[in-house]
Amino acid sequence: MKRLFIFILAFLCCFSSCKRRGGDTGGTPVQKDTVYPLRFCTEDFVVDSTLVRDGETFSGLMGRLGLGAKDSYVLSEALDSVFDVRKMRAGNSLEAYYAADSTRSLEYVVYHNDRVRSTVFKCRDSLYAWIYDKPVASERRITDVTINSSLWNDMRAAGASPLLIVNLADIYAWTVNFFGLQEGDRFRVIYDQTVCNGEVVKIDSVEFALYDSGKFRAGAIRFDQGDGGNKYWNEKGESLRKAFLKAPLQYTRISSRFTYKRKHPITGKVRPHTAVDYAAPTGTPVHSIGDGTITLCGWDGSGGGNRIKIRHMNGYETCYMHLSKFASGMKAGVRVAQGDVIGYVGSTGHSTGPHLDFRVWKDGTPIDPLSMISPPSEPLKSENLDSLGKMYKAYLKEIGE
């Protein structure tokens, strides 16, 4: 009899839902269950969907949804580390859940931080919040794309996310001209991606790629040596990236070029200008064009204002002048990687307007940054070449070569 009772109880529990219903409740109020994952039964409420408006604050949003000013303040104070109200973004969607009676009081708000994470606010009785993360899965994919119309369209036709294009463009930035792809060009890629509700949320990593134009092949093997440097190599152990970026910032125009005879805009004297001036708005991020070590970081008393000087491999040095400020953590002796933000465009020192004065030396001699031929990055360490070769052969077999 005891076993029969346990079986019946378990059977009934399997049919529990947002509301437990009996044949005759006898006037007893319907009992509600906590429902995973939002921890409240959405079917019990009237729901409205909306977006966060431009310039809208957390208290302003809650007030618009129907929560009083006092309760909005108490709720914001109770959020603690669950939700930073300063990071609420205009345009993000949310749902407001109201009592399904004449009071239409605001009960819950579900704010969607992104495609995976949401924050649930309890707006009645005990005011607090919690995080809801949708289930995600990581999966390994192999994609084979041949260009017929455009990489975007053909990537989608092959069943791959166009997000993969961004990763390939970064990996092959110094090798393949993505604006000059031709019909018949082919990409084969092995990669990991994160999926949520059948939608690709992000590309986690590209482990291997092979570009083939028919006349030119370029393999890309992900191999991390643990030194904080390059992670993609061809089968010979050569880095896929060059040592230097083409420019240290996104600029509006070149306002002054490299020359040994330039009339200075402030002093009026003719003297060498062994630099390139990039005109750009104040605050534009300035990037190190290559891996290196900061040798100088501070004020330049000769007119350069805030400046950073970096020593690179093979006798190269670069200097970035007239910065409005330095990026956090920048000081002499700090190691920086190619692309790291080191400062921001300004007009400090002897300057007539916001711009970056950018200089390059090779073995102590000034060279024109615009005509500089970027040397290859350092090759893979010799002790890793055997492992790289084995990985390359394994990846070729995996893609059917």
63-77, 312-326, 346-360, 368-382: least confidently modelled range: 368-382
In the structure encoding, which two tokens stand for residue 388, read together?
A: 């790289």
Is the pLDDT confidence value at 339 over 80? yes
Is the pLDDT confidence value at 24 over 60? no
Q: What is the pLDDT of residue 69?
A: 94
Is the pLDDT confidence value at 148 over 90? yes
As a whole number, mean pLDDT of residues 11-22 equals 42
35-49, 67-81, 311-325: least confidently modelled range: 35-49
Q: CB 55: neighbour CB atoms within 10 A?
A: 7
Q: Which of 320, 311, 401 is nearest to 356 (CA)?
A: 320
Cα(247)–Cα(274) distance, integer angstroms: 16
Buried b (16+ CB within 10 A) or exposed e, 160-170: bbeebbebbee
Number of domains composing the chain: 3
Q: What is the pLDDT of residue 210?
A: 97
As a whole number, mean pLDDT of residues 344-359 equals 92
Give the tens place of pLDDT for each residue, 87-110.
Answer: 999 999 999 999 999 999 999 999
In the structure encoding, which two tokens stand for residue 176, read together?
A: 């393949």
Q: What is the pLDDT of residue 316?
A: 95
**Do 229 and 310 have their domain in common?**
no
Is the pLDDT confidence value at 163 over 50? yes
**Do 264 and 358 have their domain in common?**
yes
Q: What is the pLDDT of residue 57?
A: 95
Q: What is the pLDDT of residue 8?
A: 37
Tell me the CA end-to-end span of the chain in Å, nearest whole number: 66
Is the pLDDT confidence value at 21 over 70? no
**Do 206 and 294 have their domain in common?**
no
Cα(297)–Cα(288) distance, integer angstroms: 13
Is the pLDDT confidence value at 11 over 80? no
12 falls in which pLDDT band (50, 70, 90)? very low
Cα(123)–Cα(213) distance, integer angstroms: 59
- Which of 74, 102, 133 delimits the end of a domain? 133
Q: What is the pLDDT of residue 245?
A: 83
**Do 200 and 279 have their domain in common?**
no
Residues 6+ away with beta carbon under 8 Å from 330: 294, 297, 308, 336, 342, 343
Domain CATH code at residue 175: 3.10.450.350
Cα(57)–Cα(63) distance, integer angstroms: 10
Give the tens place of pLDDT for each residue, 212-235.
Answer: 999 899 999 999 988 776 789 999
**Do 150 and 116 have their domain in common?**
no
Give the tens place of pLDDT for each residue, 238-285.
Answer: 998 888 887 888 776 786 765 655 555 555 555 666 788 998 999 999
161-170, 258-267, 296-305: least confidently modelled range: 258-267
Is the pLDDT confidence value at 393 over 60? yes
Residues 6+ away with beta carbon under 8 Å from 303: 349, 350
Share of the chain above pLDDT 90, in %: 63
Considering the domain boundaries, does residue 218 fall inside one?
Answer: yes
Residues 6+ away with beta carbon under 8 Å from 322: 304, 305, 306, 307, 345, 346, 347, 348, 349, 351, 354, 355, 356, 357
DSSP string, 279-315: E--TT-EEE-SSSEEEEEEEEETTTTEEEEEEE-GGG
Judge contact between 392 and 207, C-beta under 8 A.
no
Considering the domain boundaries, does residue 248 fall inside one?
Answer: no
81 falls in which pLDDT band (50, 70, 90)? confident
Judge contact between 301 and 229, C-beta under 8 A.
no
**Do 125 and 186 have their domain in common?**
no
Cα(84)–Cα(357) distance, integer angstroms: 38
Domain CATH code at residue 287: 2.70.70.10
**Do 289 and 363 have their domain in common?**
yes
Q: Which of 394, 304, 397, 294 is nearest to 350 (CA)?
A: 304
Strand order of the β-sheet with 93-99 is 45-51, 93-99, 106-112, 117-122, 128-133
Residue-range definition of the domain harbouring residue 226: 137-233
As a whole number, mean pLDDT of residues 144-151 equals 93
- Which of 98, 133, 168 delimits the end of a domain? 133
**Do 115 and 183 have their domain in common?**
no
**Do 128 and 162 have their domain in common?**
no
Q: Residue 256: in which H helix or E strand, if any?
A: strand 253-256
